[in-house]
Amino acid sequence: MTNQAIGHSHAKIILMGEHSVVYGQPAIALPIPKIDLNVKIVEKNIGIFLNSKYYVGDINNIPNDLLGIKNLINDTLHKLNKEASCFEMTIESSIPSERGMGSSAATSVAIVKSLYNYFNKPLDKDTLLELSNIEETITHGNPSGLDTATAGSDNPVWFIRNRVLNEIDFNLNAVLVIADSGIKGRTDIAINYVKQQLTHKNKETMESIKHIGELVTKAKHDIENNNPCELGLLMSENQKELKNLKVSNDKIDELVEIANRNGSLGTKLTGSGLGGCIIALAKDMNDAKTIENALLKAGALETWIQPFN
């Protein structure tokens, strides 16, 4: 029988704390299991063949912007002592790319899982994250590791760079509306943009980063104690700080405003920004539907509703 294996992962949403998490502040993120990605490996005679939306062919001829994937496959094979392997790898994804939903992190996580499954090797969480971050580092420069941690987790994540990685006790009676602005956002550009502001010792940027960390810490308390109204206020304050970091844009601001006018308890961009998605916190499913309809009417490309319980 032909040897074959699957690796599975999903989209992620950062509830609060993007960008500041790169500088050691805490962040809270959620896996979105219904938006997912599968990597399938089937044994083949010659070389490594990649079959994806972006590139079909031998991985040795992969275009430069996908070099991270080639390195990830090679490094994982090296770790597994299986450098001389031959197979076809097929990537199928329903995660929109460059929309702040972690499509590249989900790809990395599923590639590593598929290779470990293919060679029947046990995979612990630390190895999964260490390998998955190889591609993220090549693609994004200085990632915090939050995206891969969330793509590799079945539960919400409370994350502090290089220190703590555990799951948060979600006790929230509310519903999240996710809306795609239709504008692509590039994580590498957004991360560099914030970095540049910090390199120039912009005092306001430093204060915003610290303040976001404080908001996230308060948010954890509100999530664990079922205070959706307070959480919504914190999300809106987080959005103000993301605007100060200049990673919002006109379309995002417009969608945030519309969600707030239609009953959202708090709304912000999610992910690296400069495009991508917004998230709005709704009291219940009825309010979520009202917000969703208003956002679609205002030109949101796609929406998803995610209850917390």
Ligand X SMILES: C[C@@](O)(CCO)CC(=O)[O-]
Query: Which residues contact ligand X by CB under 6 A?
Result: 14, 18-19, 21-22, 100, 143-144, 146-147, 187, 190-191, 271-272
> Minimum CB separation from ligand X for residue 136, in Å?
7
CA distance 118 to 125: 17
Distance from C-alpha of 80 to C-alpha of 100, rounded to nearest angstrom: 31
> Which CB, 73 or 190, lies closer to ligand X?
190
Contact 143/279 with Cβ under 8 angstroms? no
Pick between residue 109 and residue 191 the one whose CB is nearest to ligand X: 191
Task: Answer yes or no: are the C-beta atoms of 47 and 60 closer than 8 Å.
Answer: yes
Length of the chain: 309
Radius of gyration of the chain (CA): 20
Tokens of 290: 């009202």
Cβ 80 to ligand X, closest distance in Å?
Answer: 26
CB of 226 to ligand X, least distance (A): 26
Question: From the CB of 34, what's the least distance to ligand X, in Å?
Answer: 19
Q: What are the helix (H) ranges across the chain?
A: 67-79, 103-118, 125-140, 146-151, 187-199, 203-224, 228-244, 250-261, 285-297
Angle value at C-alpha 206, between 201 and 207, nearest 5 degrees: 135
CB of 95 to ligand X, least distance (A): 12
Cα dihedral 158/162/163/166 (nearest 10):
30
Task: Report the C-alpha gap between 71 and 90 in whole angstroms.
Answer: 17
> Could you tell me the smallest distance in angstroms from the CB atom of residue 87 to ligand X?
30
Q: Closer to ligand X at the Cβ: 15 or 291?
A: 15
| Closer Cβ to ligand X, 21 or 50, answer by number | 21
**Considering beta carbons, is residue 69 or 101 the nearer one to ligand X?**
101
Q: Tally DSSP H helices, then E strands, for the chain.
A: 9, 11
Cβ closest to ligand X, residue 68 vs residue 228: 68
Measured from the CB atom, the residue of 151 and 295 that comes closer to ligand X is 151
Smallest separation, CB 133 to ligand X (Å): 9
